Chain A
């Protein structure tokens, strides 16, 4: 694929979001408030059942629970966002009646879904991470706060790469089946459970643990915890997880490139586009 075409696809994604924000200011404000609402919910729930001291005791490290939850909230929200947006985009376009007009664009469907979404992801995530910077600086000091923010940015950017392919696989599934919204509703929480977002993967039965190893979200969750748990972040465990995520990115993006074509073909064969 020519660079010019990649550029116009990326630009089309930017354009779409800029127009959405311009015409829906409330949407933009909601986007800004959303991360703090999520953090408030998670921390609020924590305070309901315990205190910062019990949190530190359970974790076994001297770490601020708010700083911990900032990192995990950002990475988790970014992961969910990729799965919902790339996978759900097919749904949204079908609902709008715009799917045929996207398919008749002279590019592959998987490339359109992924490339036109990347700018939105980077933009949303960057804003959300930067939004937490003042709070992190307040909690951990200027240097540690900035370093943690930068590492979070790196983590969510790298974490996005395999998730793009993974979510495009989702999209191909949604193209094939008819009750697509149901699938998106139940598949997302299951993936998060298998990824260790709710319970550590070490507590899972062996078969669940095996599945968790092939899910890219498992590593983004681990990355979030690693970043959150360390007072002054060490690069070695982070780089290890980033390496795994890069490897999975290659595998999932190749798979999605092949399978979304099959999904598209199946939908075209059955006449459900």
Chain B
């Protein structure tokens, strides 16, 4: 089985009641998921990227067995989340919120011990696991393992939440906005830990975020979700190539005194069929070629070869790809307020 998580045609509707008058309410059906499909391969970090209200949390709650779908199915390591929830719960670790979910009057260590016992760990095994996680997540190093949870900062709470998700050493981790509200160093530490978990410890991670930078940093593949539909799916690189009509190739050159720059541009346009321009730079000249995304590598090598032939020294080649944010805005068609 290559897929750790399999989601097919997942549908979820919420019924809400809108107050219209003092005594009257109007029933409204909100379609949170409109038939989404995706797979998460074993050992990969898969991101669900979308704006608020896109359906990310609904999806992770269904996969975590905390919400029942109205249609379709979701399987974790082959277990159906509706038919076999207990089996699913044995192989997943869940963190839905970094700022709550623990007993305030218990210390971090005590909270982990309690939840560990609730999840079936006991004795020496529980003790070792709790100590290992407190150490791994840096709570011991910070000296807060024996501090009450109510005294924790958001970053510490996030670490403890991740530690709880890892109590049963699950194969699949499901995390809803794990870095939401964290300061940059804590967010970075958590991201690095997640990547390590997936790649060194072979865990599968399903993570939701609306942070493009985060998705690009940690996810092997990303699904862009909006208004209950998956709009695009692939690795961050693939997604960027998919939406990019053209890619800018910037080459910094140092021409020989005999080089005719106009001729150089003409030759490049002729050979590459790309739009080309040249501007002077403090370090030489900057050539800018606008090329189709599927020919980036080919045209880069052609250009470099030509430039050498024309007596130029190539200092640097830069491919200016669109960011995941560009992809997101293009795919969802959303520009903000």
Contact = CB atoms under 8 A, between A and B. Distances in A.
Interface of A: 4-5, 7-9, 11-12, 15-16, 19-20, 23-24, 96-98, 100-107, 112, 116, 265, 268-271, 273
Given A104-B65, A104-B94, A270-B14, A5 B107 contact: no
Main DSSP-derived SS at the A contact region = helix
Contact of B117 (A15, A265, A271): A15
The 9 closest A-B pairs by CB, nearest first: A97-B100, A12-B117, A97-B101, A106-B89, A19-B110, A268-B68, A105-B118, A269-B68, A8-B122
A232 to B, nearest CB: 44
Contact of B114 (A5, A12, A96): A12
B148 interface: yes
B337 to A, nearest CB: 27
Contact of B164 (A101, A106, A270): A101
B66 A103 contact: yes
Contacts of A19: 103, 105-107, 110, 114
B97 interface: yes
Contact of A16 (B15, B97, B103): B103
A170 to B, nearest CB: 21
A273 B58 CA distance: 11
Contacts of A12: 114, 117-118
Contacts of A104: 64-66, 89, 92, 94
Nearest to A97: B100
B11 to A, nearest CB: 13
B261 interface: no
Contacts of B92: 104
A22 to B, nearest CB: 8
A38 to B, nearest CB: 24
Contacts of A268: 66-68
B213 interface: no
Interface string B43-86: 00000000000000010010011111000000000000000001
A101 B101 contact: yes
A273 to B, nearest CB: 5
Contacts of B164: 101
B67 A271 contact: yes
A270 B101 contact: no
B100 to A, nearest CB: 3
Given A20-B105, A96-B102, A102 B66 contact: no
B61 A271 contact: yes
Given A16-B103, A23-B107, A98-B102, A106 B68 contact: no
Contact of A112 (B67, B96, B118, B121): B118
A106 B84 CA distance: 11
Contact of A271 (B14, B94, B106, B122): B14
A8 B14 CA distance: 37
A11 B126 CA distance: 13
Contacts of A16: 103, 106, 114
B132 interface: no
Contact of B103 (A4, A9, A96, A273): A96
Contacts of B148: 23
Interface in B115-169: 115, 117-122, 148, 164
Contacts of B201: none
B14 A98 contact: no
Contacts of A100: 61, 64, 66, 94, 96, 101
11 contacts: A7-B122, A8-B117, A20-B106, A98-B100, A100-B64, A100-B96, A101-B94, A104-B66, A268-B66, A269-B68, A271-B61
